[in-house]
Amino acid sequence: MTKYCNRFARILKKQTIMSSSKNTFSSKLGVIAATVGSAVGLGTVWRFPNEVHDNGGSVFLIAYLICVLLMGIPVMLAEFSLGRGSRADSVGSFKKMTPNKKWWIVGATAVLASYIILSFYIVVSGWTLEYFWLSLTGALTAGHEGVSSPEFYSSIMDEALFTAWNPVFWTFILIVINMLVLIKGVEKGIERMANVLMPLLFVILVMLCFVSLTLPGAIDGVEFFLKPDWDKMNPSVLISAVGQAFFSLSLGMGILITYSSYYPKKTKLGRTSVIVSSLVFLVAILMGLIIFPAMKSFGIEGQTKGASLIFVTLPQIFEAMHGSYIWSLLFFFLLVVAALTSTVSLGEVVIAFLHKTFGMKRKKACVITLLPMFALSAVSSLSLSVWSEYTFFGMTWFDFLDYVTANLMLPIVAILICVYVGHIIPKSFLEKEMTNNGSMKSLILPTLIFLIRYVSPLLVAAVLLNKFFEFV
């Protein structure tokens, strides 16, 4: 026991030295772009429209907004305070705040969750890259005589996503791109990439949205998405919305702790959490305004489950539009950008942990994090094709990892972070971080603290229990 305590003391000392080295985002834009880049990922551009479609349209949007306000912003703020206040990675932050306690296990679980998520999320990201390539070469919009559109696009999807080596190849390319960005470091890699790609993402979104909204009959889709049909509201819609808020805001994974440890001292945490959440919400709205009007306009409901909405139904819509080549190219580029900026943030959680807690050189930490990813992601990918007969609790390896992380690890970590920030560490710490050492006033501070302490953890716990009972 004493041996372990001494080891931690050494690690802690080393960490204080490491964290004093300059490793911060250099501008306000960098802070927002990188954090929004992490948050806006496949969860918002892909999962969100699927969830809206399956959960009664507009009521889901309203439930999602409520969850972002009651849970998203407070949990985000709790993670920001912990990260910026301690200037450490997600394990180190707990160790710094409560040195001789076991709370660092929460941070370690977050690091593990991020790594596991990366091993299958990067596979899906690889699919987006592959579709971008198919758009670029014109294969997606080349026409298909004698074969119906749904059949044609389903066969392209099967070939692209579920044959053995094709998706693995694209996943590998994405790992290499991640490595190139992450090796460059926080400011020159992550921040620079986000500063260029995130504004581009918004421009593409607005363009696609404009095109979709000007299609004939688009208004039916707008109504489905925005006009509340209260009869469709039920507890399961709310529960799905909590899950979506969680996923789309990158909560409970140590990402926000890690990124906020790179925030300059003068960053206003409250304002940042509101801006980031609002931008994520805005992207979700724009995605809805791209997909549903187009679907209604062309009368293409088609397959909407899982991957099919994006990879089968949407290409049919693009095909029916003038300028199909350019729209599909822009759309899949948008997906690649969303995926890349999120995979980078998942990787950064592990790299920051190895770099700061173990004092490993950044380059070495990048290699150690991403090299095994070639094997791990290949296993996730192949579990959907040649290894699909091997199941774990009735799920493929890919689905099993998804289930365990999204439904168990992330909610548990988020609850514990709220308990930790709200009840374990001194209240003054949170107040100091939220007011930048008392230099600014925050009228809603008491409300936020109340939400962090009670409302958010209880909401997340309700979802967790629900999933648990669904499973048993």
Smallest distance, ligand PFF to C-beta of residue 250, A: 4
**Per-residue 3-state assignment (H helix, E strand, C coil) for 432-463:** HHHCCCCCCCCCCHHHHHHHHHHHHHHHHHHH
What are the backbone dihedrals phi and psi of residue 392, each rounded to the nearest 5 degrees, phi first?
A: -125, 115
Smallest distance, ligand PFF to C-beta of residue 19, A: 25
- Report the candidate in 252, 255, 254, 257 with the shortest Cα–Cα distance to residue 83: 257
Q: Verify binding: residue 406, ligand PFF, rule CB under 6 A.
A: yes
Torsion sign, CA atoms 268, 270, 276, 278 = negative
**CB nearer to ligand PFF: pick between 200 and 408:** 408
- Report the candidate in 314, 346, 345, 308 with the shortest Cα–Cα distance to residue 331: 314
Smallest distance, ligand PFF to C-beta of residue 465, A: 20
CB atoms within 10 A of CB 53: 21
Strand (E) or helix (H) holding 12: helix 2-19
Smallest distance, ligand PFF to C-beta of residue 42, A: 4
What are the backbone dihedrals phi and psi of residue 395, each rounded to the nearest 5 degrees, phi first?
A: -120, 155
Near ligand PFF by CB under 6 A: residue from 117, 182, 245, 257: 117
Smallest distance, ligand PFF to C-beta of residue 401, A: 10
Q: How many residues bind ligand PFF (CB under 6 A)?
A: 12
Distances 92 to 177, 352, 464 between C-alpha atoms, Å: 27, 10, 26
Q: Verify binding: residue 167, ligand PFF, rule CB under 6 A.
A: no
Distances 381 to 141, 286, 375, 399 between C-alpha atoms, Å: 26, 30, 10, 11
Residue of minimal Cβ distance to ligand PFF: 43
Smallest distance, ligand PFF to C-beta of residue 95, A: 24
Smallest distance, ligand PFF to C-beta of residue 417, A: 15
Q: Verify binding: residue 281, ligand PFF, rule CB under 6 A.
A: no
Q: Verify binding: residue 247, ligand PFF, rule CB under 6 A.
A: yes
Q: Verify binding: residue 39, ligand PFF, rule CB under 6 A.
A: yes
**Per-residue 3-state assignment (H helix, E strand, C coil) for 171-224:** HHHHHHHHHHHHHHCHHHHHHHHHHHHHHHHHHHHHHHHHHHHCCCCHHHHHHH
**Beta strand residue intervals within 267-369, DSSP E:** none
What are the backbone dihedrals phi and psi of residue 90, each rounded to the nearest 5 degrees, phi first?
A: -75, -20
Site string for ligand PFF, 41-80 (x = CB under 6 A): xxxx------------------------------------
Residue length of the chain:
472
Q: Verify binding: residue 248, ligand PFF, rule CB under 6 A.
A: yes
**CB nearer to ligand PFF: pick between 15 and 44:** 44
Sorted by sequence, the CB contacts under 8 Å of residue 344 that are 6+ apart come out as 37, 38, 178, 181, 182, 189, 190, 193
Segment interacting with ligand PFF, rule: CB under 6 A, options 154-162, 245-253, 301-309, 421-429: 245-253
Smallest distance, ligand PFF to C-beta of residue 224, A: 23
Site string for ligand PFF, 291-330 (x = CB under 6 A): ----------------------------------------
Q: Verify binding: residue 85, ligand PFF, rule CB under 6 A.
A: no
Q: How far apart are CA 133 and CA 153, in angstroms?
A: 15
Smallest distance, ligand PFF to C-beta of residue 260, A: 15
Segment interacting with ligand PFF, rule: CB under 6 A, options 169-177, 244-252, 292-300, 321-329: 244-252
**CB nearer to ligand PFF: pick between 174 and 449:** 174
Segment interacting with ligand PFF, rule: CB under 6 A, options 37-45, 219-227, 288-296, 318-326: 37-45
Q: Which residues contribute to the site for ligand PFF (CB under 6 A)?
A: 39, 41-44, 117, 121, 247-248, 250, 342, 406
